[in-house]
Amino acid sequence: MYVCVCFVTEDNSAMQRRRTRQDALKSYYNLVDDPSPAPSSEHSANTGRVAGSCDINGPQFEPDVYLSRLIKERSLTELMDKEAEMVQHIKSLDSDMQTLVYENYNKFISATDTIRTVYLPHSQLAFISSLLVDSIGRVTGRASIM
């Protein structure tokens, strides 16, 4: 059994695109490298809980609390602007995810094609080497007769 190990190097622009995609995913899933410090008092803990439940990107997000807070604090025009902003943000995230899926699909197809091109010459090489072994065996047999 043969194993082919390939090392692929990326150029600078490919690394930048990859880093941009990773940053988009980190932003989408709200992944932060350094966590924020814990609140120091009871009052700040309650404020943090309400703020955390209204943080649309936070892990403790509660849509009902967020929506009721928006309705109480904003005018109709501000609500409509916020809705348009959120729709635009959702479309942007959907587009980013579609791009990631498309790029990964292309990488998968490329890897499949590479495996096929490596496997085909390998199978031909095995056939040729078996013919070569037979030929060497015949030459050795004739040489021993002489």
Query: What's residue 105's pLDDT?
Result: 92
Query: 38 pLDDT exceeds 50?
Result: no
23: Cβ–Cβ under 8 A, 6 or more apart, which residues? Answer: none
Query: What's residue 85's pLDDT?
Result: 92
Query: What's residue 30's pLDDT?
Result: 67
Query: What's residue 138's pLDDT?
Result: 87
DSSP 88: H
Query: 11 pLDDT exceeds 50?
Result: yes
Could you tell me the pLDDT band of residue 36, with boundaries at 50, 70 and 90?
A: very low
User: What does the alpha-carbon distance between residue 46 and residue 28 come to, in Å, rounded to a whole number?
Assistant: 26
Query: What's residue 46's pLDDT?
Result: 43
Query: What's residue 144's pLDDT?
Result: 81
